[in-house]
């Protein structure tokens, strides 16, 4: 999951991001995280806007909680440019390098504008880029 989905899940008890967090905790899918992803998550949640909703300790505890429960992998090597925003390319590389089926994001300007299915070459399975609500619906079909 893109850190923006995890941020939304942290600050709201409603919506698709929170539903995904619950589905992940119940074992419906595996979430892959890396140092880069956790660093971005923490740095966003420590911005003044979010610290108005969360306290410093809660941010650190949330990031540690995700780190302990997710599949932690090394940062992915740079697989090239995928997104109009180069800061998002690490997420695509992370997903492709670890054989993810989906990259879940709310990034309408960059990640969700990519082709619905990305491929990185021979031997790498395709990656679907999905909005949280669409991924929740996909999970519902896989009951």
Overall residue count recorded for the chain in this entry: 143
Pairing outcome for strands 71-72 and 32-33: parallel
Question: Of the given ranges (31-45, 62-76, 93-107), which has the lowest mean pLDDT?
Answer: 93-107
pLDDT at 72: 96
- Please compute the mean of the pLDDT values over residues 96-118 and round it to a whole number: 71
CATH of the domain at 104: 3.40.50.1010
User: Which has the closest alpha carbon to 6: 106, 96, 87?
Assistant: 106
User: Which has the closest alpha carbon to 91: 121, 112, 60, 68?
Assistant: 112
Round to whole Å and give the CA distance between 122 and 34.
24
User: Which has the closest alpha carbon to 100: 85, 109, 79?
Assistant: 79
pLDDT at 90: 85
Give the structural domain span for 46.
3-141
Domain total in the chain = 1
Pairing outcome for strands 127-130 and 117-118: antiparallel
Q: Is 88 helix (H, G, I), strand (E, B) or coil?
A: helix
Round to whole Å and give the CA distance between 79 and 73.
16
pLDDT at 142: 64
Which has more pLDDT, 112 or 33?
Answer: 33
Q: CB neighbours of 85 closer than 8 A, spacing ≥ 6?
A: 107, 109, 110
């Amino acid at each position: 999951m893109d850190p923006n989905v995890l941020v939304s899940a942290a600050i709201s008890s409603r919506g698709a991001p929170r539903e995904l967090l619950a589905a992940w905790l119940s074992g419906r899918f595996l979430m892959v995280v890396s140092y880069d992803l956790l660093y971005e998550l923490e740095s966003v949640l420590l911005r003044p806007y979010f610290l108005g909703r969360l306290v410093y300790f809660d941010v650190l505890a949330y990031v540690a909680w995700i780190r302990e429960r997710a599949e932690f992998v090394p940062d992915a090597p740079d697989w090239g440019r995928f997104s109009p925003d180069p800061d998002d390319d690490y997420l695509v590389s992370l997903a492709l390098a670890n054989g993810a089926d989906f990259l879940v994001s709310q990034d309408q300007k960059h990640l969700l504008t990519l082709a619905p299915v990305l491929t990185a070459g021979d031997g790498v399975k395709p990656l679907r880029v999905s909005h949280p609500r669409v991924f929740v619906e996909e999970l519902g079909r896989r009951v």
